[in-house]
A and B are shown apart, each in its own frame.
Chain A
Amino acid sequence: MTAVLTPPSTAHRPAVRAGAAGPATLVGLEVRKSLSTRSGRSLAVAAALLPPAGAALASAVSEDPLLAVASPLAMMGMLTALVLLALGVLSTAGEWTHRTVQTTFLLTPQRGRVLAAKAASVALLGAGLAAVSAATSAAVLAVFEPTAAWDGVGRVLAVAVVSGAAFAVTGAGIGAAVANAPAALTGTYLVVLGVLPVVQAFRPEITERLDPTAAVLRLAETGSGATPALVLTGWVVVATVAGAVVTRRRAVA
């Protein structure tokens, strides 16, 4: 390429922030990072639009009218959460895969602050996108299924938003622990969508205490139960702690 190089002139030094970036700045930065790549934007769009599109398609092809919207909405919320899991994974593991983590830690060497900002940013993105997805799905069902009952829909929407945030944070923790986007994505989905359903067939009492997708559905449908809440919390805490420990120790080679 032909480039015109400007003679190195440094007539004035730019205004520079004196201290470290505040938490709000770091969270905003991480949100921008997540949405500044095609993969991040695609996942955000998929999380927001795939469930309502699925709801519209299912309603359009179904011959029987829907009796109640709560259960389909809960399924749509779970689908959104599964997509947001990938958004979370990419926010952390993607940095290691593309080696951008080097610049991130050069500019903010306190790795715990970076990971906290990433967790907060994907929680915000997850909750926001899950809210959009759930609201749009509800609107679609309202149009296509005018006779269906709306009992418990408020609870389902709330669970969808919470689970969206929880899955995104879990993904960020897993991504930070594995530090390799393809491996983290493959491993996570293999466990959640492959291993746990197989275990469910033989030992349902085990998956009841492990499966995050089943926990989301139970929370949405019943609105109660300490076990599903603990399962979701456990995934968030274990993944985040593992990510923090590994991130703190790993050399950026």
Chain B
Amino acid sequence: MIEVSGLTKQYGERTVVADVSFTLEPGTVTGFLGPNGAGKTTTMRMMTGLVPATSGTALVDGRPYPELPNPGAVVGTLLDASAVHPGRTGRTHLRLLAAAIGVPADRVDEVLDLVGLADAGRRRVGGYSLGMRQRLGIAGALLADPPVLVFDEPANGLDPEGIRWMRDLLREHAARGGTVLLSSHLLGEVEHTVDRLLVIGGGRVVADGSVTELLGADGTVVRAERPADLRSLLEARGHAVTAEPDGRLTVAGATPAQVGAVAASAGLALVDLRPAQHGLEDLFLQLTAAA
């Protein structure tokens, strides 16, 4: 479990992270969302001891990260895929990490194979694409198969197949009881990967909840063959209805079952009936713009 409490970072008068608190439970994938400069990376670096916090604490299994006996065995981190010496081969890079963590050298070939770099392992990292460097970073994070994964923008540079693979990897990790913190600008990717969203804007957490809670239904969207008739009927039954130019009707506060029953009572044919949802992007922009 990771417990972050009141984490704050100030550079002089400028506050880049302000009183950020959250808890990451085992078995969950948490998406850490925010625009550039929102404080995601600084928060992750404070959590892992790379950047000293001005105030607040971040505990991994009850201890500050720097006090973990063998941090690489507990937390797999990918914070900057470019933080690799370009003159080393991918395999050499991982072998050095394996020696530092204390895992057998043959584990390197396993993770290279896992991330699809088995053929590129003997090439210098300087010749890798961004996607290959991301995969190398993921391989390094997985060397010890740690219970916690902290990934900063891991989907950058990955092709669609790689993104899907990573999504499956993180979901499976959580299914095995692992804890995952994943930051990303790729909102659609996060939506399909995470159980919980942590939205940060202006250095502050502006939303924290499950995907269902944050994107939850707040009405029903319906299309009918005779939309004007349906609208009149719904309004006559006391529902607030908004008509869209494309013929869609949004019925605030009503469930699809209630709307369907009204339509059926008048013999109106429907061509679409579903819960209305916030788009993740809309929610994201709304929350972070307010911060």
Query: Once the chains bind, are A14 and B140 in contact (CB under 8 Å)?
Result: no
Q: Please give the distance in Å from B97's CB to the nearest CB on chain A.
A: 7
A102 at the interface (CB under 8 A from B): yes
Stretch from A35-43, A79-87, A182-190 at the B interface: A35-43
Q: Please give the distance in Å from A236's CB to the nearest CB on chain B.
A: 26
Number of interface residues of B (CB under 8 A): 59
Q: Which chain A residues (73-110) contact chain B, with CB distance < 8 Å?
A: 94, 98-100, 102-110
Nearest A residue to B129, CB-CB: A1
Q: Which residues of B contact A108 (CB under 8 A)?
A: 100
Q: Please give the distance in Å from B196's CB to the nearest CB on chain A.
A: 20
Q: Please give the distance in Å from A227's CB to the nearest CB on chain B.
A: 40
Query: Once the chains bind, are B45 and A107 in contact (CB under 8 Å)?
Result: no
Query: Once the chains bind, are B117 and A3 in contact (CB under 8 Å)?
Result: yes
Q: Mark B67-81, 1 if CB is under 8 A from A, else 0.
A: 111111100010110
A61 at the interface (CB under 8 A from B): no
Given the interface contacts A13-B145, A17-B102, does A5 sit within 8 Å of B80 by beta carbon?
A: no
Q: Which residues of A contact B165 (CB under 8 A)?
A: 5, 7-8
Query: Once the chains bind, are A10 and B172 in contact (CB under 8 Å)?
Result: yes
Given the interface contacts A3-B117, A109-B49, does A8 sit within 8 Å of B86 by beta carbon?
A: no
Query: Once the chains bind, are B102 and A252 in contact (CB under 8 Å)?
Result: no
Nearest B residue to A6, CB-CB: B114
Given the interface contacts A106-B50, A252-B50, does A8 sit within 8 Å of B114 by beta carbon?
A: yes
Query: Once the chains bind, are A251 and B52 in contact (CB under 8 Å)?
Result: yes
A225 at the interface (CB under 8 A from B): no
Query: Once the chains bind, are A6 and B116 in contact (CB under 8 Å)?
Result: yes
Q: Which residues of B contact A21 (CB under 8 A)?
A: 70, 99-100, 102
| Contact partner, B101, options A4, A17, A32, A33, Cβ 8 Å | A17
Given the interface contacts A6-B113, A37-B88, A98-B85, does A107 sit within 8 Å of B51 by beta carbon?
A: no
Query: Once the chains bind, are B102 and A109 in contact (CB under 8 Å)?
Result: no
Q: How many A-B residue pairs have CB under 8 A?
A: 140
A60 at the interface (CB under 8 A from B): no
Q: Please give the distance in Å from A19's CB to the nearest CB on chain B.
A: 5
Q: Which residues of B contact A5 (CB under 8 A)?
A: 114-116, 161-162, 165
Query: Once the chains bind, are B87 and A38 in contact (CB under 8 Å)?
Result: yes
Q: Which residues of A contact B200 (CB under 8 A)?
A: none
Query: Once the chains bind, are B135 and A102 in contact (CB under 8 Å)?
Result: no
Number of interface residues of A (CB under 8 A): 43
Q: Which residues of A contact B278 (CB under 8 A)?
A: none
A253 at the interface (CB under 8 A from B): yes
Q: Mark B213-242, 1 if CB is under 8 A from A, else 0.
A: 000000000000000000000000000000
Query: Once the chains bind, are A32 and B96 in contact (CB under 8 Å)?
Result: yes
Q: Please give the distance in Å from B133's CB to the nearest CB on chain A.
A: 12
Nearest A residue to B170, CB-CB: A8
Give Cα distance in the complex from A13 to B176, angstroms: 12
Query: Once the chains bind, are A37 and B100 in contact (CB under 8 Å)?
Result: no
Give Cα distance in the complex from A75 to B26, angstroms: 63
The 18 listed contacts between A and B (C-beta, < 8 Å) are: A3-B116, A4-B116, A5-B114, A5-B162, A6-B113, A10-B176, A13-B145, A14-B145, A17-B73, A17-B102, A19-B69, A29-B100, A36-B88, A37-B87, A99-B82, A102-B83, A108-B100, A110-B66
Q: Lowest 7 A-B CB distances belong to which pairs?
A: A17-B102, A3-B116, A109-B66, A8-B169, A99-B83, A252-B50, A37-B87
Q: A8-B168, A17-B102, A251-B50 are in contact. List 18 more A-B contacts (CB 8 A).
A: A1-B120, A1-B132, A3-B115, A3-B117, A3-B119, A5-B116, A5-B161, A14-B110, A18-B70, A36-B85, A38-B87, A98-B83, A102-B50, A106-B49, A106-B71, A251-B45, A251-B52, A253-B51
